[in-house]
């Protein structure tokens, strides 16, 4: 037993000597994708937000071509929940547990509550992550779904937090950047005229908006605004008219993605850690035709809960079920044709095959010189102690 422990200790020392960041090395792998964003330059590359950092993935070669995690650079990057691409340059904005990071492809800069002028959402729930969206001019909207307001980030500095009467769930700007739209959590759509600083609130009472509980926004190439809510989709066209398209049995829409080739809509109808488990759908808005993909045995996805989905720049669909840690859980989906499994295991870390999961781990040396290893496994505390320099037993 002592021989095994000493071998483990020696292995840790060897790994520390060759690790990349502050003496630590990764002994885990990502188990969830929370955002998929197509690259705006390379058609076959997509950006992934995961619970173990950021990755850029090439869908043609099935390889990770760039990444940030706990061991790849300093400062370290942990869980990433959201991603946004700067339309004016190469920056990638990432949301972290208590802040954001800006990655320019070479260096990464972290801004958190304690070390910067970031304030939005600081006093709200620690279990709700920030979200980000770039404006057309390269400034960054930062908001939190449980916070009343938003904050802008420009050229390395934060503007003063803007307080609103609603909690933004998503932000989108029109093509010329003159208007910004905010999805309110329970009070409809908010339009900010950036030229006049005048707000307009569209609700189900004063407009044809179907309902006030909004979740997501996105513009198509013709400047039509698509609006996701808890019963389906609305569209605000350039003339100011709302049109509603709900499925025959209305289902929630939490994310809207537009095929860059033909304008088709891919919408995520499921929300992890909630009662919303309705899979995903392809929607032809003009004919209001919904093709739903759920765990019904009728499609190769056959899942009810997805944490992310999107197109790449060639119009191919990529889907992440809530847990993609098992082989084949990150999927290239071609409706009616195939579900192709993709391997994004960057470090080649093996998956645990039992339920003895370790929640926390620590090593310390006692005054006597012995080494103690403590771990929390299956909600129980375990402690091992051994003497350094002791021979085989």
**pLDDT of 301:** 92
Contact 356, 373 (CB under 8 A): no
CA distance 327 to 342: 8
- Alpha-carbon distance of 362 to 374, in angstroms, equals 5
* Model confidence at 1: pLDDT above 50: no
The answer to whether residues 105 and 145 touch, using CB atoms and an 8 Å cutoff, is no
More confident residue, 339 or 8: 339
> How many whole angstroms separate alpha carbon 218 and alpha carbon 268?
13
The conformation of residue 103, written as its DSSP 8-state character, comes to: E
109-123, 196-210, 215-229, 309-323: segment of lowest average pLDDT? 309-323
pLDDT for 101 equals 97
For the segment 271-306, what is each residue's pLDDT rounded down to a tens digit?
A: 888 888 999 999 999 999 999 999 999 999 999 999
> Between 384 and 334, where is the model more confident?
334
Of 95-104, 315-324, 333-342, the poorest mean pLDDT is in 315-324
The predicted model scores a pTM of 0.84
As a whole number, mean pLDDT of residues 14-24 equals 41
CB–CB of 228/185 below 8 Å? no
Judged on CB neighbours under 10 Å (0-12, 13-18, 19+), 156 is exposed
Q: What is the mean pLDDT of residues 68-77?
A: 84
Q: Which pLDDT value is given to residue 376?
A: 65
DSSP letter for 222, please.
T
Q: For residue 366, give the nearest of 358, 374, 354, 356 by alpha carbon.
A: 374
CA separation for the pair 379, 376 (Å, rounded): 6
Q: Write out pLDDT tens, residues 171-196.
A: 999 999 999 999 999 999 999 999 99
**Mean pLDDT confidence for 66-72:** 86
Query: Residue 67: is its pLDDT beyond 70?
Result: yes
pLDDT at 197: 96
Confidence of residue 146 (pLDDT cuts 50, 70, 90): very high
92 within 8 A of 107, measured Cβ to Cβ? no
47/94 Cα distance (integer angstroms): 11
Return d(Cα 207, Cα 223) in angstroms, integer.
Answer: 19
Alpha-carbon distances, residue 82 vs 126, 143, 295 (angstroms): 16, 11, 26
345-371: pLDDT as tens digits: 766 665 555 545 566 677 877 777 787
Parse the chain into domains and list their residue ranges: 2-342, 356-393
The least confident of 10-14, 157-161, 166-170 is 10-14
Distance CA 244, CA 387 (A): 70
Confidence of residue 12 (pLDDT cuts 50, 70, 90): very low
Confidence at residue 192, expressed as pLDDT on a 0 to 100 scale: 98
User: Taking the CA atoms of the chain, what radius of gyration do you get in angstroms?
Assistant: 23
- Beta sheet of 358-365, edge-to-edge order: 358-365, 371-377, 380-386
What is the pLDDT confidence band of residue 9, given thresholds at 50, 70 and 90?
very low
- What mean pLDDT is predicted for residues 89-101? 95
- Residue 18's pLDDT band, with cuts at 50, 70 and 90, is very low
d(CA 367, CA 387) in angstroms, rounded, equals 12
Fold (topology level) of 2-342: Methylamine Dehydrogenase; Chain H (2.130.10)
Task: Tell me the β-bridge partners of 358.
Answer: 377
Token couple for 84: 């946004």
Question: In this structure, what token pair is assigned to residue 343?
Answer: 């391997």
More confident residue, 219 or 19: 219
Q: Tokens in use for 393? A: 């037993």
User: How wide is the angle at C-alpha 158 spanned by C-alphas 153 and 163, nearest 5°?
Assistant: 90
Which residue reads 């304690």 in tokens? 114
Summarize pLDDT for 110-128 with one digit per residue, the tens: 999 999 999 999 999 999 9
Least confident of 14-28, 124-138, 151-165: 14-28
The predicted structure's pLDDT at residue 349: 60
Residue 38, H or E segment: strand 33-38
CA distance 199 to 209: 17
């Amino acid at each position: 037993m002592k021989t095994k422990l000493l071998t483990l200790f020696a292995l840790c020392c060897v790994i520390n000597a060759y690790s990349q960041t502050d003496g630590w090395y990764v002994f885990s792998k990502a188990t969830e994708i929370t955002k998929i964003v197509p690259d705006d330059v390379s058609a076959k590359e997509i950006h992934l937000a995961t619970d173990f950092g950021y990755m850029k993935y090439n869908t043609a070669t099935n390889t990770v071509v760039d990444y940030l995690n706990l061991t790849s650079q300093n400062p370290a990057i942990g869980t990433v929940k959201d991603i946004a691409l700067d339309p004016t340059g190469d920056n990638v904005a990432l949301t972290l547990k208590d802040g954001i990071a800006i990655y320019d492809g070479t260096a990464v800069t972290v801004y958190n509550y304690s070390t910067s002028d970031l304030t939005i959402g600081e006093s709200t729930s620690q279990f709700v992550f920030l979200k980000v969206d770039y404006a057309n001019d390269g400034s960054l909207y930062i908001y939190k779904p449980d916070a009343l307001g938003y904050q802008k980030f420009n050229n390395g500095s934060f503007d003063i937090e803007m307080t609103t009467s609603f909690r933004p769930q998503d932000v989108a700007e029109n093509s010329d950047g003159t208007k910004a739209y905010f999805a309110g959590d329970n009070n409809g759509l908010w339009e900010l005229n950036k030229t006049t600083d005048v707000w307009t609130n569209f609700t189900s009472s004063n407009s044809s908006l179907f309902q006030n509980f909004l979740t997501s926004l996105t513009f198509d190439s013709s400047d039509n605004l698509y609006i996701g809510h808890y019963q389906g989709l609305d569209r605000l066209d350039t003339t100011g008219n709302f049109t509603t398209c709900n499925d025959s049995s209305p289902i929630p829409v939490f994310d809207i993605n537009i095929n860059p080739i033909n304008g088709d809509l891919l919408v995520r109808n499921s929300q992890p850690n909630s009662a919303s488990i309705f899979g995903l759908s392809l929607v032809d808005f003009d004919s209001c035709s919904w093709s739903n993909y759920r765990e019904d045995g009728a499609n190769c996805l056959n899942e009810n809960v997805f944490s992310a989905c999107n197109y790449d720049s060639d119009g191919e669909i990529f889907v992440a079920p809530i847990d993609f840690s098992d082989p084949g859980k990150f999927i290239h989906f071609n409706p009616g044709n195939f579900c192709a499994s993709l391997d994004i295991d960057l470090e080649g870390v093996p998956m645990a095959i039992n339920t003895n999961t370790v929640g926390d781990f620590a090593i310390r040396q006692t005054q006597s010189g012995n080494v103690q290893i403590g771990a929390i496994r299956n909600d129980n505390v375990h402690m091992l102690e051994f003497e350094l320099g002791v021979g085989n037993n």
